[in-house]
A and B are shown apart, each in its own frame.
Chain A
């Protein structure tokens, strides 16, 4: 942190502070929680809940307004799940993949669109929940659990035959793959979102007006793509676990 202390001289622009690695700690028992992440995630959850309640409160045969938007969102996540899992298998996994996509998407965009810096915290700053590695690791581990559960419930103990299936020589690599999947999922999302926010913050430090706008738009685009990538990969991993063989075309990311 001391390395970037020269940035403190730029505090003339209070909206453009860089506070990586500082957190607003909540202490519950022996645990130290990153409070800013909880606050922003709760706001994101509240946005999603309000949108879905408003959309379903008064359902029309011909959708209008927010119902239209939410129907579009539902069709979008359904297409993601259907493309990855296939027509027959996708339905039970649609809520999981859809929740992942919507939560990550709204989180990423909230970091760019909601002016969090206007809210003062004693320490640290509010930002997109996905720019904290704990959030992304939690989502990636949930994905791991989901595909283990999918494979185990579908194929029973036969699921574990995939570790020795072509040849037992590849057993270490097959086990290693189970660790690299959540690692790459979480690092990809975390790195992209944090990089977006850092680039925007540095540019705002240098030129406060107008110049950062194209980069902000690019950030919106990449964060939407990252939400899509996370949901797609979760679907691909679950499909691979359910199907056993033939999941190779989704491999090697």
Chain B
């Protein structure tokens, strides 16, 4: 593999996963914060809130996972290698 391409791919993979973690991190923080607020205000709704929260967190997490898929493609199945 061309060393320039190798170096660029590694940096691109790091950026892909690192940048993709920012947005979902903020989103998950907001969602969890609101969920805790909701539970504190209405403790009897805890089960329902928790179920919805977990599902929503999984959706947000998948955004980071898309970045991870790109990073894995760059590292293991690089089309430019």
A interface residues, Cβ below 8 angstroms from B: 1-4, 20-21, 184, 187-188, 190-192, 194-195, 198, 222, 225-226, 228-229, 232, 253
Contact = CB atoms under 8 A, between A and B. Distances in A.
7 contacts: A2-B1, A21-B76, A184-B66, A188-B65, A192-B61, A194-B72, A232-B55
Please list the 5 inter-chain residue pairs (A to B) with the smallest Cβ-Cβ separation, ordered nearest first.
A191-B65, A188-B62, A21-B76, A191-B69, A20-B76
A229 B66 contact: no
Contacts of B35: none
Interface of B: 1, 6, 9-10, 54-55, 58-59, 61-62, 65-66, 68-69, 72, 75-77
A4 B65 contact: no
A229 B59 contact: yes
A198 B71 CA distance: 13
A195 B65 CA distance: 8
- Dominant SS among interface residues on chain A: helix
A253 B65 CA distance: 13
A244 B1 CA distance: 51
